[in-house]
Amino acid sequence: MITIQHDDVDIGKLITDAKQRGMGAIVVFDGIVRDDDIREMELEAYQEVALKELEQIAADATKKYNLFSVDIIHRIGRLKVSENILIIIVGAGHRKEAYEGSRYIIETIKAGVPIWKKELRKDGDRWVPGEHPQGTGKFN
């Protein structure tokens, strides 16, 4: 499942559904809202483009790391502290590919997928600055 959505997901079910014959490892990345003295976090996406890019990242990771399965769920909308933002579930034959595939996916998402976060703070709102100033992720 590759999706951008408001609702949370059942990570346990995703793990169960991901399991398949020959798989030896599943790595779960769960990015959550950190309590940086904020009330909530608001996430916005250029949804049509971001979804295509997530699909491309999953396809690239599958090929590069010989993955059995990839699930990416990126949430948007208003989220409270500790809520899930991004869930990546990667299944592979062995832990090495699973870890490396997961790392590749999260870093590539952060580098270029058009999604933004705004911290709703007690002392005013603030857009979170991107880690990659010129959006270095090239997908097109």
Partner 1 sequence: MRHHEEENEEETMKVKVRFFAQFGELLGTDIIVEPASGTVLSGLIKEIAQRNKDGYNAIFDEKDTFREFVILMRNGKRVDTIDAVTTNVVDDDEIAVFPPVAGG
Binding site for partner 1 (CB under 8 A): 31, 43-46, 48-50, 52, 74, 85-86, 106, 109-118, 127-135, 137-140
| Least Å from the CB of residue 7 to partner 1 | 17
For 138, the token pair is: 């090239």
Residues 105/28, Cβ–Cβ less than 8 Å: no
Pairing of strands 25-32, 69-75: unpaired
Question: Quick one: residue 77, left, alpha or beta (phi over 0 = left, psi -120 to 50 = alpha)?
Answer: left
Closest by CA to 80, choosing from 131, 43, 135, is 43
**In this complex, which beta carbon is closest to partner 1, that of residue 31 or of residue 93?**
31
**In this complex, which beta carbon is closest to partner 1, that of residue 4 or of residue 92?**
4
| Least Å from the CB of residue 98 to partner 1 | 18
**In this complex, which beta carbon is closest to partner 1, that of residue 117 or of residue 121?**
117
| Least Å from the CB of residue 10 to partner 1 | 21
| Least Å from the CB of residue 85 to partner 1 | 7
**In this complex, which beta carbon is closest to partner 1, that of residue 40 or of residue 93?**
40
CA distances from 132 to 20, 99, 110 (A): 36, 23, 8
